[in-house]
Amino acid sequence: MTQPSIDSEINLDGTKRTLSNRHVQMIAIGGTIGTGLFLGAGSTISKSGPTIILLYAVIGLLFFFMMRSIGEMLYSQPDQHTFVGFITKYLGKGTGVFAGLTYWLALIFAGMSELTAIANYVKYWFPDWNSALIEIGFLIILALLNILAAKAFGETEFWFALIKIIAIVALIVTGVFMALTGFKTPKGTSSFGNVFTNFSLFPNGFHNFLGSIPMVFFAMAGMEFVGITIGETKNPRQVLKKAINETVYRILLFYIGALFVIMSIIPWTSITPDRSPFVQVFQIVGFPAAAAVINFVVLTSAASALNSVLFSSGRHLFQLSQELGFKPLDKITKSGIPSRAVLTSATLLLFAPVIVSIPAISNAFQFVTSGASDLYIVVYILTMVAHRQYRKSADFMPDGFKMPFYEVTSPVTIAAFSLIFFSLFSNSDDVIPASGAIAWVILFGGFCFFKYRGQKIAA
């Protein structure tokens, strides 16, 4: 099959290269900075205290290495529409089909978490509104935006992401000022020293520290969205290096900076685990109107992350339908959008209000985030293994965008992701999703292995 020029405006599959560098940067940031930070940070801070900053730094470093492995493969083959395609190419069709469906399901679970959070944020103002109707309304609006055109999606995501970035920067600047001036709050005096006062590596025990790892991982998951947008980006190689490096650096800065400032403004022991620490901070310091503004920001943040999930899940389902020859979803609109795949993904997200209504699930948000994390980890590990096979292949570019210190960072990243998976068993609400993920790997993974053994997808 003839490969398209990387300067071409239209890919062979019919999708169009209409996204610019600013779109790519914001889509990646928008897909990553979401409920994991704005809502989930309350849980992680309450479990691990200031140690959570170190945990974000370590897991962020692992994501940097994974992103560089994806970037290395994309730089050599920028026509590849999603990074999961490399798993198919280097590990075989069975592994590729398994990874494609697994990653798509991970995105669906991630989208459910954003929908669940959206309902929580809207009910801050309208506590009597029905959660399911709120979720359905937002889902319809964002699905329609996604099937208009990639550029329309890119513009929407750009402004969504910009709102939350401005909010985080404003929080950091305000918090630094409060700490430097010794601002008085009902919980004490704001000071950088609050972060280190009576510091303990595991203030609530090692078990609680382990329990905070899954949410930190989930907060970082989605960073690979930058690799999904490259297939619809102008000048992909030129954009790729800058997009991957700058996205990782900015996300780490925003996460670590925001958490440090939050724990400087008020003691970390005063943060309620099941509420957004951003909203809590402004309420505690006596700015209820500002708390409402921040609630709006975290609402747009969740909408932004959901927007990115719809974009990504639609592209993955479309590619999978092409590889499997599933014609009903293998359709592109005149504007270059896999609309049927996007709408199918959106329809499955409607299971979010169903999960919320199940009495046996005490924490629906944590349940769906755990389900997403389990599946993300499996695909991330397979991606790293595919990268190792790429290094042995004729496609390897010695002068390309290489992963740094590959001989050490590759096996360490794979081992660390494996350990993160088992940390999911430290939370009671995560045990069912984690066990389900193991069953999925054994049963569906085994099915794909035997069904597609020895088969390859035509080049």
Q: Which residue has the tokens 């779109």?
A: 23
316 and 100 Cβ atoms separated by less than 8 Å: yes
Query: For the purposes of burial, counting CB atoms within 10 Å of the CB of 269, is it exposed (0-12), middle (13-18) or buried (19 or more)?
Result: middle
Q: Which residues pair with 16 in a beta bridge?
A: 10
DSSP β-ladder status, 188-189 and 184-185: antiparallel
Q: Which residues pair with 185 in a beta bridge?
A: 188
Q: Of 382, 366, 304, which is closest to residue 101 (Cα–Cα)? A: 382
236-265 and 150-181 are packed helices; what angle lies between their axes, rounded to 10 degrees? 30
Task: State how far the Cα of 332 lies from the Cα of 337, in Å rounded to an integer.
Answer: 5
Domain locations along the chain: 21-451
User: Each residue of 240-260: pLDDT tens digit?
Assistant: 787 787 777 777 788 899 899
Structure confidence by residue, pLDDT tens digits, 120-178: 889 889 999 988 889 889 999 888 888 876 566 667 777 877 887 888 888 888 889 98
- Please give the pLDDT value at position 264: 92
Other beta carbons less than 10 A from residue 241's beta carbon: 14
The fold of the 21-451 domain, in CATH, is Amino acid/polyamine transporter I (1.20.1740)
The string of pLDDT tens digits covering residues 178-224 is: 899 998 888 888 999 889 887 888 888 898 898 888 888 988 887 88
